[in-house]
Structure 1
Amino acid sequence: MADSGPADFLRAAALFLNDDWILGPLSISADFFAFAREASASARAAGVSSLICDYLHMDLSDDEALEVESILAVLLDDPSPLVRRAMAEGLAHEADAPRHIILALASDQPEIAALVLQYAPHFSDAELAEMALITSVGPQLAMARRVPVATSICAALTEAGAPCVLIELARNEKAQLSQAIMLRMLERVGEEGRLRDALMMRADAGPDLRLRLLEHVSGALSAFLKQTGWLSPERTERMLREARERAIVEISAQADDVNSPIHGAAGAALSLVRHLRGQGQLTAALILRALLCGDRLMLAAALAELGERPLERVLAYLDHPAGHAFAALYEKAGLPEAMLPVFIAVLGAMERFPRAAGAHPDRTLLKTALRACASLPEAQRLSVEAYLGRLEAESMRLQMRQLVPSRA
C-alpha cells in the first residue's frame, strides 16, 4: 500500500491479537490481518462486512466469537471511516452485537454514529437523552427517527435540536411527545411552517396545542395580508376572525370525540374555553357557531366557566333549555340577552334531531336559528341574520364540494 499508516496499524493489531496472554495463536485474526495488511480501505470494509456476517450467522465457538469481537474492537481505530461505517452498517440492527462496539461507534463521526443511534437497541433511554444534548445534528436526526422515541429523549432533542430535528421528531408517529414537549417545540421554532404542519397532523395533539398552532398560523396570515394589501383592514379582520372560529370549533369537536386519543371531553372543553377566555376570544358568536355545529359541550363549558357553575349541573340545565334555570345561568354568564331565544330554539331542535359535533354548521339548526331571529329587536336581528347568513353560505359551499366528487 502507498500509505503506510493502515499497514502499520494492522501490523500492530495482528501482533496484539496473537499475543499469548489473550488466547494464544488465533487463526481468524491471523488470516484476517494477513489479508487486511495489503488491502485497500474499500477492500478492508468489505472484509469487515464478511467477518460480521460470519459472526452473526455462523455457529462459532465461544473462543472464535471472542476473537472476532477482539478484531472488531481493534478495527474501531482503523484510519479509514469506510471500515468503521461497514461495522456500523453490519451491527446496527443486531441485538446480539457487542454492546461496547456499538457504544464506541455511537461516538464516531456523525454519519457513522447516526447508523447505530437510529437502529441499535443497545442504548438505555438515559444514554440516548444524554447524547441528544451533546451530539451534532446528524446523530440527533437519527435519534428522532427511532421507533419508538421515549419521552425523555424527546425532551432532550426538543431542547438541544435544530429546527430540522424537531420537525423530524414531530413527524415520527412513534415519538412519545407529551403536550408540554410539543408546546415547547412551538415555543422554540413556532415560525417554522413545517413544524406547525407536523404537529397539527399528530393524533395526540391536544386542544391547547392546536389553539397555539392556530394563533401562530393566524398571526402569519394576518401579517401577510396586511403586507400585500389585497383586502381592506375590516374585511381582513372579519375573514381572519371567522377562519379562527371555524378552526376552534373543529378543535372542540375533535376533543369531544370519544375515539380521540386525547379523550377527556369535559376536561378538554373546559381547558379550551378557559384558554379562549384568557385570549379574549370567547365570544357569543363563537359559542353559537359551535352549537350550530352540534357541539353542546362547548356551550356547557362556556356557561360553566362564565357563570361559575359545575359543568355537570350546566349540562342538566341544557336538557331543559326553556326552563328558568337555563335563562338565569345564561344571564349570569353575561351572554347577549337578545340572543337567548336563538340559543333556546337551537337547543330544542338538537333534542328533536340529535347529531354528533362536527366542524361545519348544520343546515337544519341554521334554519331554526334564523326563524328564532324574528323575535329579536331590529338592530340585533340584522346583525345576527348577517352572521347566520354567512354560516349558511359556508354550509352550502361545503355541501356543493361534497357533491362534486360523487358526480365525477
Structure 2
Amino acid sequence: MTVIEYFLKWIKSAKAAERAAAAVALAHAYLRQELTFEERLSAEAALTLLLDDPSPKVRLALSETLSLSHRAPAQVIAALAADQVEVAAPVLVRSPLLSDGDLVDRVASGVPKVQVLIASRPQLSLPVSAAIAEVGAAEACLELVRNPSARIAGLSYRRMIERHGGHAALRAALAADRRLPADCRHLLLRRVGEALSAAPFVRALMGASRAEKLAREACANASLTLIDATDRSEHAALVEHLRLSGDLTLSFLIRAVAYGKIDFFGAALVSLSGQSEARVRALLAGGRDAALSALLSRAELSPVSHAPVLTALKIWREVAVGRRIAGPQEVSWHMLRALDGDESAEGAALAALLRRIHLDALRSNARREALALAAAQRRCGGALIRYGEVIPLLAQLSVYPDSSDFRA
C-alpha cells in the first residue's frame, strides 16, 4: 500500500484537525514536486477528494496552502474559489491560477464579500476592475479604490461615481485617489454638492433653495481649484466633460478668467470656437481687442461679456511678464468697472456675478492676512500688537479706495 493509499484510508476515521494537518502536509508534498509521476497522480486525486471534506477547516487549510502556487492543480483551485467565502478567501485574494475570466465570473455572482476579496487582489487588471465598477457593491468599489496597485480605467471611475456617488466613504476615497481623472473628479464634485444640498440638516438650517444655491457656489469654487490640480494636457478632456454635462457656462468661464485660469480658458475657446489651439493661444498671448472679440463671438460668448474678459486678459498678460502684481481681487474689480453703463438684464446678472467673485476674493485675502497676523504674533511669543500697528496692516486688506462699494 502506497503512502497516498494509506492516507485515503486514514482520513475516513481521522478527526477534522488531523485531516486539516494531513491536507497541509499532502499539499506541500505535491507542490515540492518530490513525488514520482504515479505518486503525483495519486496525490492530485487525494487533494481533489479533500474538496468534499465536510469540515470547512480542512478545505481552508488546503486553500491557504495552495493559494500562492503556480503548481497547484487547476481544478482544485477552481473548486476552492467557488467554495464558501471563508474557504475561498485565500484563493480569491492570492491565487495566480485564476484568470481574468474566472475573476469576472466570480464578481458577476453578486456576492459582496467575494467582490471585496477580488478587489483587494494585488495588480488587479483593467477588465476585472471594470467588472467591479460595473456590477460591484459599494463596499467592493471602495476596496478597489483603496487598492493602490489596481489598474482602473477612467470609464470605471465614472461608473463607480454614477452608481455609488451617494456613498460617503467611497466619495472620500475617490477624492483622495491621485489616479482619478479630472473629468471624473468634477463629476464627483457634483455628487458631493448634491449630497450637501439634500442633507436634512442643511435644508432645515437654511431652506431648500438656499442650500441648493450654496451647493452650486461651492461646486463652482471647487471646480476652479480642480483646474489647478489638472495637468494642462488634460484641460481639453475636462472642458469636453464640462460641456457635455452643461457646466461649461458663461458664469463659470468668467470665474475662470477672473481667477487667472487662462490656459483652461484657452482650451475652452478651442472647443467652443473650433479654432486651432495655436491660433487661440496666439490671440490670448498678444491678440488685439478686435481679433479677441471675434474669437469670443465665434465661441458664442455673450457680447456683454467681451469687455470684462478683454480687461482681465490685459491684466493677466502684464502679470505674466512681470509688469504688474495683481490677483483675482483686483482683476474682478476692473472687470466690474468694464461693465459700467450696461443697464441690460444680462449686464446686471454679470455684474452681480463679478461682485460675488470680488467679495469672495476680498474674504479670502482677509482670511489669509488674519492667519498671517496670528502666525506672526505666535512667532513673537504672543506679544500684543499695538493699535498703531494694526491700522496700516488692515489698510492693506483693501487694495482700492472704493472697494467698499462691493462689500456685502
Map 1:183-222 to 2 at 5 A.
183-222=158-197
Cα distance in 2, alignment partners of residues 399 and 173 from structure 1: 39
User: Which stretch has the larger CA shift, 193-202 or 238-247?
Assistant: 193-202
- Letter aligned with residue 126 of structure 2: T
Question: Equivalent residues in 2 for 1:259-408 (5 A)?
Answer: 264-276=233-245, 279=246, 281-335=247-301, 337=303, 339-354=305-320, 364-371=327-334, 373-377=336-340, 383=352, 384-397=354-367
CA distance in 2 between partners of 1:136 and 1:283 (Å): 43
Q: What amino acid maps onto 1:272 in structure 2?
A: H
**Cα 1:223–1:365, aligned 2, differ >3 Å: closer, same or farther?**
closer
Which fold has the larger relative contact order, with Cα–Cα distance below 8 Å and residues 6 or more apart in sequence?
Answer: 1
Give yes or no for contact 2:332–2:357 (8 Å, CA) kept in 1: no
Q: Which amino acid in the other structure matches residue 124 of structure 2?
A: V
Unaligned runs of 5+ in 2: 380-408
Which residue is 1:112 aligned to? 87
Deviation at 1:394, TM superposition (A): 2.6
The alpha-carbon deviation at position 234 of structure 1 amounts to 6.1
Q: Distance in 2 between matches of 1:274 and 1:42?
A: 64
Q: Following TM superposition, by how much is the alpha carbon of 1:388 offset from its aligned partner in structure 2, in angstroms?
A: 1.1
- Equivalenced residue count is 368
Does 2:218 correspond to 1:243? yes
Using a 3 Å threshold, how does the CA distance of structure 1 residues 402 and 195 change in structure 2: closer, same or farther?
Answer: farther
**Partners of 1:322 and 1:344 within 8 A in 2:** no
Q: Give the aligned residue type for 2:115.
A: Q
Q: Partner residue of 1:26? A: 2
1:43 and 2:18 are equivalent in the alignment: yes
Alpha carbons 2:196, 2:202 under 8 Å: kept: no
- 1: CA distance, partners of 2:355 / 2:17: 77
1:254 Cα deviation from its structure 2 partner: 2.9
Query: Is the alpha carbon distance of 1:320 and 1:269 closer, same or farther for their aligned partners in structure 2, counting shifts above 3 Å?
Result: farther
TM-score by length of 1: 0.77
Partner-residue secondary structure (3-state), 2:28: helix
Q: Which amino acid aligns with 1:223?
A: A
> Deviation of residue 74 (structure 1)?
1.7
Whole-angstrom distance in 1 between the partners of 2:158 and 2:66: 36
Distance (whole Å) between structure 2 residues aligned to residue 51 and residue 133 of structure 1: 33
Per-residue CA deviation, residues 16-44 of structure 1 (Å, 9 max, x unaligned), is xxxxxxxxx312441x3465444321221
Superposed CA offset, 1:152-198 (max 9, x none): 22333334433322222233233332222232233333322223233
Cα distance, 1:298–1:162 mapped onto 2, change above 3 Å: same
Q: Please tell me whether the aligned partners of residues 273 and 302 of structure 1 are also in contact (alpha carbons under 8 angstroms).
A: no
- Report the CA distance between 1:46 and its aligned residue: 2.0
- In structure 2, give the amino acid aligned to 1:296: I
Asked whether the 8 Å contact 2:182–2:234 carries over to 1, the reply is: no
The one-letter amino acid paired with 2:340 is P
Q: Does the CA contact (< 8 Å) of 1:292 and 1:346 recur in 2?
A: yes
1:100 aligned counterpart, secondary structure: helix
Instruction: Flag structure 1 segments of 5+ consecutive residues without an equivalent.
Output: 1-24, 259-263, 356-361
The TM-score with structure 2 as length reference comes to 0.77
- Report SS of the residue matched to 2:205: coil
Query: Is the contact between residue 345 and residue 369 of structure 1 (CA under 8 Å) also seen in structure 2?
Result: no
1:64 deviates by 4.0
Deviation at 1:372, TM superposition (A): 5.0
Q: Aligned ranges for residues 140-219 of structure 1 at < 5 Å?
A: 140-219=115-194
Indicate if the aligned counterparts of 2:4 and 2:42 stay in contact, CA closer than 8 A.
Answer: yes
Structure 1 segment 68-83 matched on structure 2, within 5 A: 68-83=43-58
Cα distance between partner residues in 1 of 2:374 and 2:39 = 70
What is the DSSP-based 3-state SS (H/G/I as helix, E as strand, rest coil) of the residue aligned with 1:353? helix
